[in-house]
Amino acid sequence: MNPPDKAWQRLVTAARRAPADAPASVPYGFATRVAAQALTQPAPAGLSLERLAIRALGVACLAAVLGVAANYSVFTNGSAEEEAFFTTDDPAAIVLDVS
């Protein structure tokens, strides 16, 4: 018995000797059909989705930046207001009237 690897090698060696197929000529009308279809077809759906996703990402980034800009004062003054709230409106301080 031939070991399997050797059997495969002998088989492909024999297969390589098979004559190559006759060169293929373009079927009648094939080139015209393909060219017409290629130059008239709309962009594939995948491509449109990719573009849409990139635009959506841009819009999302812009919205995030605008959101931060619109609320910038809250970030900068927020801690001072919170402090004032806790010192002036502290329920325990009001009840005990320690201020």
Partner 1 sequence: MPDDEAFDLAGCLARVRAQDQTAARDLVGHLYPFVIRIVRSHLPRRVAEEDLAQDIFLKMFTRLDQYQGNVPFTHWVSRIAVTTCIDQLRAQKRRPEFRWADLAENEAEMLDHVLADENASAPDDALAARELVNKLLAQLNPEDQLVLRLLDLEQKTIREISALTGWNGALVKVRAFRARRKLHKLFTALQRKERS
The residues of the shown chain that bind partner 1, judged by CB under 8 A, are 1-2, 4-19, 21, 23-27, 30-39, 41, 43-44, 47
Q: How far is the CB of 36 from partner 1 (least distance, A)?
A: 6
| Residues 58/50, Cβ–Cβ less than 8 Å | no
* Amino acid at the residue 78: G
* Of residues 43 and 80, the one with the C-beta less far from partner 1: 43
* Separation between Cα atoms, residue 23 and residue 26, nearest integer Å: 10
Q: How far is the CB of 81 from partner 1 (least distance, A)?
A: 54
Q: How far is the CB of 64 from partner 1 (least distance, A)?
A: 31
Fill in the DSSP letter of residue 98: -
